[in-house]
Chain A
């Protein structure tokens, strides 16, 4: 008798989703699917809006990573204007983008995933949450809160407010950086470094306990995609669109990002509002790829800053050279990116020209179509707009980081379910692991949902003979 297990909602992620697990006649997992259950419609509702409203509008997609959309949208508008923005403006955008990554990674690691990492996947659900972390390891909790606040305060000092800052605009940024704000951020760097280095030490001593999860959390060959620079160091703002395979072989390196459509295809499954992106030259199923911290570290030779270089070298000495394939390692990769983000922020702030008053280029539209790309906390983010002669949006397409990971998330859910969900004895820990593999990707579902057509989302628990069977469900 077949059976369907429903996890609804998936907990400790951003946004709304559910997971269905289908058991065969022998009680083994036959299939598992990740369904995104929320619809936003930003690509549609932006039609008819003046293009220079788009950064502010697109920032409202998300309250966790609005800066990512501001950056990608502003870069798209830069392409419509046909401008080259001043170096100080570009570097200030880089800094706020890194601050976004720092605070978002801190949220993901400390608030969403650390309950599993500290208390264990099988811990009592009544305690396996962020407040359980606060009680079990106050130092880890303090560091998490302070690191997140550090990133948020950098955003506020540059952009004027922590959420939806309107400072990133077409052509650059709205205001130069003041000496006072620069100096205040620099004063906070040493403590931020201390906190992330302490967390890295804790994590290195802890993750070995998760061998079973490392082996089964989306641990399979896939392609990887990220922005790349000529130095082969971490690149979050500009660069080429690069794909590598599971062995690290270069498959594509496209500096003209407006040609992304030759490399990225999108498909809509009928059971989710999340589009599935794939590497077009290999087709829908074979072209599965991953983005985000794991992909970015797989792509580079060095991180690009001293302490992060050392941390990356140690990460590779512990886990192996070449692309890492287990999505469990997203957690470790996130910590290294936080370290890099803090160091890179310091480097950029200590350049004298960061205080330049020349931070914005001005123009009228010089193109009817533009593409902008950046690295968001969760991976590569792309905005693509078409405008008419009045500068009004005619069409928009967003390829969101989490959508880039959709195929891999689904494959990961199935792999974990097959490893840990057995027959008619379904433990809370097993179900938590199914959720935890999704958490390792740190999906932002509010960002990523788009609809093309209907979503016939019908939840049923039934046997081979059509009778309703037990439902295992989380409230």
Chain B
């Protein structure tokens, strides 16, 4: 069972980098596991469609400004064929599932997003105090999902 984890965000913008930070740590932990691949990136782009198509299970990790600071939520991700105006700087996660299937013939049987509540987007490489407290919980939740 091939697992792909994609953590994304801007690590120069404080808690916007939460997904990035979680994924960096997961990449180290799972560096020697052939069935777990971790991608760390700034944003979702069409180039991710092919690795997504090869995965059996997909976990995306990013902040969600609609969550309370310090909260986290794990929700299923569904394909969404008509997800807003396309842009090569950012694509919708649900649309990436559609793209993976349309171009590469396959998409993960299971997909989910781990959404994290940010507490600031200052120009900083350091997470906020809330973000730093959230990081271990986010890691633990991601590990539970990866290993179940």
Binding site for B on A (CB under 8 A): 63, 107, 111-112, 129-131, 134-135, 138, 141-142, 145-146, 148-149, 152, 162-163
Whether the Cβ atoms of A145 and B102 lie closer than 8 Å is no
B13 CB within 8 Å of chain A: no
Tell me the bound Cα distance from A270 to B49 in angstroms. 43
A149 and B50 in contact, given A134-B99, A162-B41 (Cβ under 8 angstroms): yes
Whether the Cβ atoms of A130 and B88 lie closer than 8 Å is yes
CB-CB under 8 A from A149, the residues of chain B are 47, 50
Instruction: Decide if the interface of chain B is mainly helix, strand, loop or mixed.
Output: helix
Tell me the bound Cα distance from A146 to B48 in angstroms. 10
Contact of A134 among B42, B50, B102 (CB under 8 A): B102
CB-CB under 8 A from A162, the residues of chain B are 41
Contact of A152 among B47, B49, B99, B104 (CB under 8 A): B47
Whether the Cβ atoms of A107 and B103 lie closer than 8 Å is no
B108 CB within 8 Å of chain A: no
B76 CB within 8 Å of chain A: no
Q: Name the CB-closest residue of A to B81.
A: A131
Whether the Cβ atoms of A142 and B88 lie closer than 8 Å is no
CB-CB under 8 A from A107, the residues of chain B are 88
- Interface residue count on the B side (C-beta < 8 Å): 12
Whether the Cβ atoms of B42 and A63 lie closer than 8 Å is yes
Most chain B CB atoms below 10 A, which of A63, A107, A134, A148:
A134
Q: Name the CB-closest residue of B to A111.
A: B88
Q: List 15 A-B contacts (CB under 8 A).
A: A63-B42, A111-B46, A111-B88, A130-B86, A130-B88, A131-B99, A134-B102, A141-B103, A142-B103, A142-B104, A145-B47, A145-B103, A146-B50, A149-B50, A162-B41
CB-CB under 8 A from A135, the residues of chain B are 102
> What's the count of A-B pairs with C-beta under 8 Å?
33
Contact of A148 among B42, B47, B102 (CB under 8 A): B47
Tell me the bound Cα distance from A163 to B39 in angstroms. 13
Tell me the bound Cα distance from A138 to B50 in angstroms. 13
Tell me the bound Cα distance from A177 to B104 in angstroms. 32
Tell me the bound Cα distance from A396 to B46 in angstroms. 36
Whether the Cβ atoms of A163 and B42 lie closer than 8 Å is yes
Instruction: Decide if the interface of chain A is mainly helix, strand, loop or mixed.
Output: helix
Tell me the bound Cα distance from A301 to B40 in angstroms. 42
Tell me the bound Cα distance from A423 to B99 in angstroms. 41
CB-CB under 8 A from A63, the residues of chain B are 42
B86 to chain A, nearest CB (A): 5
CB-CB under 8 A from A145, the residues of chain B are 46-47, 49-50, 103
A178 to chain B, nearest CB (A): 15
8 Å CB contacts to A: which residues of B34-56? Answer: 41-42, 46-47, 49-50
Q: Nearest 10 CB-CB pairs, A to B?
A: A149-B47, A111-B88, A131-B86, A142-B103, A145-B46, A138-B103, A129-B86, A145-B47, A148-B47, A141-B103
Binding site for A on B (CB under 8 A): 41-42, 46-47, 49-50, 86, 88, 99, 102-104
CB-CB under 8 A from A131, the residues of chain B are 86, 99
A138 and B47 in contact, given A107-B88, A112-B88 (Cβ under 8 angstroms): no
Q: Name the CB-closest residue of A to B89.
A: A63
Tell me the bound Cα distance from A172 to B76 in angstroms. 46
Tell me the bound Cα distance from A228 to B111 in angstroms. 51
Q: Name the CB-closest residue of A to B46.
A: A145
CB-CB under 8 A from A129, the residues of chain B are 86
CB-CB under 8 A from B49, the residues of chain A are 145
Q: Name the CB-closest residue of B to A144.
A: B46
Tell me the bound Cα distance from A149 to B103 in angstroms. 15
CB-CB under 8 A from B103, the residues of chain A are 134, 138, 141-142, 145
A244 to chain B, nearest CB (A): 34
B141 to chain A, nearest CB (A): 25
Tell me the bound Cα distance from A466 to B103 in angstroms. 53
CB-CB under 8 A from B47, the residues of chain A are 145, 148-149, 152
CB-CB under 8 A from B46, the residues of chain A are 111, 130, 145
A186 to chain B, nearest CB (A): 20
Most chain A CB atoms below 10 A, which of B46, B47, B49, B99:
B47
Tell me the bound Cα distance from A109 to B102 in angstroms. 21
Q: Name the CB-closest residue of A to B49.
A: A145
B25 to chain A, nearest CB (A): 16
CB-CB under 8 A from A148, the residues of chain B are 47
B91 to chain A, nearest CB (A): 9
Tell me the bound Cα distance from A376 to B102 in angstroms. 33
CB-CB under 8 A from B104, the residues of chain A are 142
Tell me the bound Cα distance from A107 to B50 in angstroms. 16
Q: Name the CB-closest residue of B to A60.
A: B12
B96 to chain A, nearest CB (A): 11
B115 to chain A, nearest CB (A): 23
CB-CB under 8 A from B42, the residues of chain A are 63, 163
CB-CB under 8 A from B41, the residues of chain A are 162
